[in-house]
Structure 1
Amino acid sequence: MYKVLVADDEPAIRQGLLKIVDWGALGFCVVGDVSNGRKAVALHQELSPELIVIDIRMPRMDGLQAIREIRKTDRDCQFLILSGYADFAYAKQAIEMDVSGYVLKPIDVEELREELLRIRAKLDQLSGRAKLSEFHADALREELILKLIAADPADAQQLECELVPLTSFAGKSKQILLVEAEDFSQAGPGYLESIKMRWLEAAESEGLGYGFLTGMYTGFLLKEDLNRQGAKSKWTRLLQDACEPGRGFTAAAGRIVYDLADIRQSYEGALGLLKDRFLLDEGQIHLATEHVLSHLVAETNGHAPPDLEAFATKLFYMLDLGRCEGVAETLKEAGKALAAYNSSETAIKTSLAQVLSVALSKLAALHPSINIQDYAPLLAELYQHTHYDKLMHAAHSQLAELARRLGGDGSLPVVKQVMDFIQRHYYENLKLETMAEMYNYNKGYLGRMFKQHTGDSFHTFLDKVRIQQASRLLREGNKVYEVSELVGYPNVGYFHSKFKKYVGASPSSIKGAPPKAEAVSLETS
């Protein structure tokens, strides 16, 4: 597309020329308009237009003077003179300066169109574009797209003029799609180059967009935006079909723009989304307008560091209870908290590995049948995944299997399960809220169920179990302060009061005494 400069001292004429002529259809792009010859000379030096449509009579410097100045440095620029004066003297001077055409005012649109077509043919001949091969056109288009997405806004309009004749669009909207191949580092030699070529060829054969390569990404200037019905699924299928089995891709599209000069904005939107590629699902096209990360990183500012120990403890409880759904919910909750605080791949992987390691260590200490070393490959595998969803799936898959193995009789009533859980975890900081959360019960409702079944409140039952275990440990000769810690009472004075309440004697009075019937009853009503 050839650049055009319009010079006329009448604003109405300049604006009219922009409206009455379909410049793009004729192969031209108007890059500027000025009101006198001096400005035309200056703008010619800046923009190097191939055609100047110029009036003769203008203030400061008339059209013929401007043409003489420009001809000193540019012999190829074409000039189309507009004038309201049918004076042969003007025409003679114009011919001497190799002017391409002369159109009288008022302008006849059809006459002007014919002159422009004639000048276009001459420009084609001069530039050789009429003989441009399809290969060269593709190469030039890719070069111009790359220049546009890297250009300063001041240069974008000129590049757009050059790119327009090499493109066609189903609608007015334009959009950039960027795609990155997955697992190419583990694939055979040349896989990355091969998959890029397949994507480019597939898009071209189906007429969906214009491809280009930029760094690690394969890019496309789409002929229709992905919000159109069926467009996104069509592109997803195209990308998937080109991949080898077991290998995928990560793709993101920027926002829609309406001028080629603005495609840099769409490109930057897609690129910005791919910076968080770890959080993007593999094998899908993500749109910058869909807020695809909101389920993980929404409102990230101001989040406190996640309590890794609390998540590890909750996961440990869910595993010990054999609650597969609870394991899934805890992993999801932990992952969201980790991403909200620090969404970097390294931070999420390191913190999640710590949560799993602590939970599995606690579990191994409680269940002799569990060897923590058996899960070392899982912890190592976490660092190999390139996507958050695959990472969480791998963790859940193995931990759910472990939960099923430890679950025992899941058909037992919830209260019975809670009682058994207390017997195994009495020494920990157990709360009714925690148990209610693990079983998805209302705290008050679970508390009433528990008391109705056992005759004791949750905390009373917990105290009785602790005191029962304390009696056993004291008779085995353990020191009072040690027993206090072992059964979950960090404060020795508080332990004394609890022990005396349920046993009727001080802890020291039964230390080392021979076993006898427990004074603390755990019978249920």
Structure 2
Amino acid sequence: MYKVLVVDDEPAIRQGLLKIVDWNALGFCVVGDVSNGKKAVACHKELSPDLIVIDIRMPVMDGLQAIREIRKTDGDCQFLILSGYADFAYAKQAIEMNVSGYVLKPIDVDELKAELLRIRSSLDRLSDHGLSGTQADALREELILKLIAADPADASELEGALKPLTGFAGEYKQIMLVEAEDLSLAGLGNLESIKTRWLEAAKAEGLGYGFQTGPYVGFLLKEDLSRPSAISQWTRFLQDACGTNTSFTAAAGRIAHKLADVRQSYEGALGVLKSRFLLAAGQIHIETETDLSHFVSAPDKNVPPNLEALALKLCYTLDLGRIEGVAEVLEETGRALIAFDSSETAIKSGLVQVLSVALSNLSVHHQSVNVQDYAPLLAELYLHSHYDGVMSSVHSQLAELAGRLGGGGSLNVVKQVMDFIQRHYQENLKLEIIAEMYNYNRGYFGRMFKQHTGDSFHSYLDKVRIQQAIRLLGEGHKVYEVSERVGYPNVDYLHYKFKKYVGVSPSSFKGAQPKAKTFSLETS
């Protein structure tokens, strides 16, 4: 005989249930009847019933609240809901908490008997296994693990063994895998505690059946995640169990219609988590919806990213004080790295190279920039477990540096570029690259620069170089040395520019100063 507790706030209904059903003939023995959920929770602790027949709307504590309380300590007790038509939405919520079924009021005796027979059959199957609640949990987890690893030929047999240990509200099955990430670096103990809370809470809430596989906590979901409300419920559930110092990454595979097919759902979730580094933390990613294409445009695995060019662009952006440009260059760098090799190691290594070169180049022109000050930032990148975290950390520090070097943006664009040329005249400066940093069209920026300076960009650059060449020649440097130091590719080119702007050859500046043309670098 299986023990039954009847819970309803109407005495007539409780007495009617005791009389209209031959409980003993159906294999049940009524051990008590109470009038509200609070008394039901107390009686459950005292009597340990196998089945609770319970109304939803009751004073003091309603039926749903009572089920939640009981589920915190008992995942095996069966529940049969009594519900009026107006309470059907509540009944659906109860079904999601692993109840066995519901019967509408006014009660149809034949329907009630059919539900009781179905529940007894389920209890018989568990009893045949000779399992306690804890043993049933262990066997269920073992069978789930076997099923997700099984050969398709063995799946049907495992499904038959697993079915009596599960109860699904719907026809769809889905596997979700969750990985806990300790942001406080408190250690393995904290992560294991999080995993235990997930498993215990999922059982208590009746959300699904948990298991552990490798670094993941897995769930055989009792409701698929196709509905936004289901994802929201699971996301809140996982976040609440994590607390403030731990996050998670979760992925769910495709929906399966049979338990025998959940292996495909498991493999799909596992496939999504292979890109864990690129996934956002604290969210559930669905196999059918996960799309990482926003990271990559026209990837070419055969063409490695030009890290030197990216580093130079980042250096220029910082030197120009372009705070808003920092995010753009970092995004471009990330896309290039991911397109070539999307592994976590390759992305982090490439980013560290770009940052190291950019900061080293920047320190040559700014005494306030010490590369060693950014060593902790470079080391910290390897501690982040997600791409978004890496880029956010880098952006916050580089944006601060750009703001500091740009003087808070008080200089107008042309003045910033003029100062920039004074610092980088010896490099291969290109108008289109600098224009791009300000999101200007090359032609428009060139006209704007000439309007403010009276010179084209390249003429202004030539004048700065010639001015520096005159200084170096006056200090006794050889012509070929000066050519290299001011950024001209060869001595002939220096001769050509000298004749154009000064009117004499650079060699004539050795010793006494000749009479030469004059030119101005002031804005007009």
TM-score w.r.t. length of structure 2? 0.73
Cα 1:439/1:301, change in 2 over 3 Å: closer
Deviation at 1:347, TM superposition (A): 1.2
Cα 1:231/1:401, change in 2 over 3 Å: same
CA distance in 2, matches of 1:189, 1:255: 31
Q: Tell me the residue number matched to 1:488.
A: 487
Whether the aligned pair in 1 keeps the contact of 2:176 and 2:252 (CA below 8 Å) is yes
Whether the aligned pair in 2 keeps the contact of 1:250 and 1:280 (CA below 8 Å) is yes
1:323 maps to 2:322: yes
CA distance in 1, matches of 2:186, 2:331: 31
CA RMSD of superposed structures (Å): 2.6
The Cα offsets for residues 443-496 of structure 1, whole Å up to 9 and x where unpaired, read as 111111112222222111111111111111111111111111111112221221
Whether the aligned pair in 2 keeps the contact of 1:468 and 1:518 (CA below 8 Å) is no
Secondary structure, aligned partner of 2:369: coil
Cα 1:362/1:512, change in 2 over 3 Å: farther
Secondary structure, aligned partner of 1:256: coil
CA distance in 2, matches of 1:518, 1:237: 75
Deviation at 1:177, TM superposition (A): 0.7
Whether the aligned pair in 2 keeps the contact of 1:322 and 1:408 (CA below 8 Å) is yes
Cα 1:153/1:297, change in 2 over 3 Å: farther
Matches within 5 A, 1:391-406: 391-406=390-405
CA distance in 2, matches of 1:375, 1:188: 27
Deviation at 1:321, TM superposition (A): 1.2
Q: Tell me the residue number matched to 1:195.
A: 194
CA distance in 2, matches of 1:194, 1:422: 58
Secondary structure, aligned partner of 1:230: helix
CA distance in 2, matches of 1:373, 1:517: 45
Cα 1:323/1:236, change in 2 over 3 Å: same
Deviation at 1:361, TM superposition (A): 0.8
Whether the aligned pair in 2 keeps the contact of 1:297 and 1:336 (CA below 8 Å) is yes
CA distance in 1, matches of 2:223, 2:273: 21
Q: Tell me the residue number matched to 1:339.
A: 338
CA distance in 2, matches of 1:518, 1:379: 50
Q: Tell me the residue number matched to 1:223.
A: 222
Structure 2 counterpart of 1:373, which letter? Q
Structure 2 counterpart of 1:425, which letter? H
Cα 1:335/1:513, change in 2 over 3 Å: farther
Deviation at 1:515, TM superposition (A): 9.1
Cα 1:185/1:444, change in 2 over 3 Å: closer
CA distance in 1, matches of 2:144, 2:517: 84
Cα 1:300/1:222, change in 2 over 3 Å: farther
CA distance in 2, matches of 1:388, 1:434: 27
1:361 maps to 2:351: no
Cα 1:513/1:376, change in 2 over 3 Å: farther
Whether the aligned pair in 2 keeps the contact of 1:475 and 1:515 (CA below 8 Å) is no
Cα 1:378/1:211, change in 2 over 3 Å: same
Q: Tell me the residue number matched to 2:251.
A: 252
Matches within 5 A, 1:8-47: none
CA distance in 2, matches of 1:377, 1:516: 54
Whether the aligned pair in 1 keeps the contact of 2:403 and 2:409 (CA below 8 Å) is no
Q: Tell me the residue number matched to 1:179.
A: 178
CA distance in 2, matches of 1:367, 1:517: 33
Identity %: 72
Deviation at 1:188, TM superposition (A): 4.5
The Cα offsets for residues 235-278 of structure 1, whole Å up to 9 and x where unpaired, read as 11111111142211121111222221111111111111212222
Cα 1:131/1:383, change in 2 over 3 Å: closer
Whether the aligned pair in 2 keeps the contact of 1:184 and 1:191 (CA below 8 Å) is no
Deviation at 1:390, TM superposition (A): 1.1
1:446 maps to 2:431: no
CA distance in 1, matches of 2:439, 2:297: 25
CA distance in 1, matches of 2:502, 2:348: 49
Structure 2 counterpart of 1:478, which letter? H
CA distance in 1, matches of 2:385, 2:188: 20
Structure 1 counterpart of 2:349, which letter? T
Structure 1 counterpart of 2:450, which letter? K
Matches within 5 A, 1:288-327: 288-297=287-296, 300-327=299-326
Secondary structure, aligned partner of 2:228: coil
Whether the aligned pair in 1 keeps the contact of 2:362 and 2:369 (CA below 8 Å) is yes
Whether the aligned pair in 1 keeps the contact of 2:422 and 2:464 (CA below 8 Å) is yes
Q: Tell me the residue number matched to 1:370.
A: 369
CA distance in 2, matches of 1:141, 1:511: 91
CA distance in 2, matches of 1:430, 1:299: 28
Matches within 5 A, 1:466-481: 466-481=465-480
Q: Tell me the residue number matched to 2:464.
A: 465
Structure 2 counterpart of 1:183, which letter? D
1:213 maps to 2:212: yes
Whether the aligned pair in 2 keeps the contact of 1:306 and 1:341 (CA below 8 Å) is yes
Whether the aligned pair in 1 keeps the contact of 2:508 and 2:514 (CA below 8 Å) is no
Q: Tell me the residue number matched to 2:144.
A: 145
CA distance in 2, matches of 1:421, 1:515: 30
Q: Tell me the residue number matched to 1:158.
A: 157
Deviation at 1:128, TM superposition (A): 5.1
1:265 maps to 2:285: no
The Cα offsets for residues 350-370 of structure 1, whole Å up to 9 and x where unpaired, read as 111111111111111111122
Deviation at 1:131, TM superposition (A): 5.0
Length, aligned pairs only: 408
CA distance in 2, matches of 1:274, 1:513: 73
Q: Tell me the residue number matched to 1:508.
A: 507
The Cα offsets for residues 314-367 of structure 1, whole Å up to 9 and x where unpaired, read as 111111111111111111110121111111111111111111111111111111
CA distance in 2, matches of 1:195, 1:409: 45
TM-score w.r.t. length of structure 1? 0.73
Whether the aligned pair in 2 keeps the contact of 1:182 and 1:248 (CA below 8 Å) is yes
Structure 2 counterpart of 1:187, which letter? A
Unpaired segments of 5 or more residues in structure 1? 1-113
Whether the aligned pair in 1 keeps the contact of 2:314 and 2:326 (CA below 8 Å) is yes
CA distance in 2, matches of 1:347, 1:287: 25
Structure 2 counterpart of 1:498, which letter? K
Secondary structure, aligned partner of 1:289: coil
Cα 1:287/1:401, change in 2 over 3 Å: same
Whether the aligned pair in 2 keeps the contact of 1:476 and 1:512 (CA below 8 Å) is no
Matches within 5 A, 1:82-161: 129=128, 132-161=131-160
The Cα offsets for residues 296-320 of structure 1, whole Å up to 9 and x where unpaired, read as 2565443511111111111111111
Deviation at 1:520, TM superposition (A): 2.8
Structure 2 counterpart of 1:344, which letter? S
The Cα offsets for residues 145-180 of structure 1, whole Å up to 9 and x where unpaired, read as 111100011111221222223223333222111111
The Cα offsets for residues 121-153 of structure 1, whole Å up to 9 and x where unpaired, read as 8x969x952754333332222122111100011
CA distance in 1, matches of 2:510, 2:312: 32
Secondary structure, aligned partner of 1:200: helix
The Cα offsets for residues 179-213 of structure 1, whole Å up to 9 and x where unpaired, read as 11113893256323211110011212222111111
Q: Tell me the residue number matched to 2:61.
A: none
Deviation at 1:512, TM superposition (A): 3.5
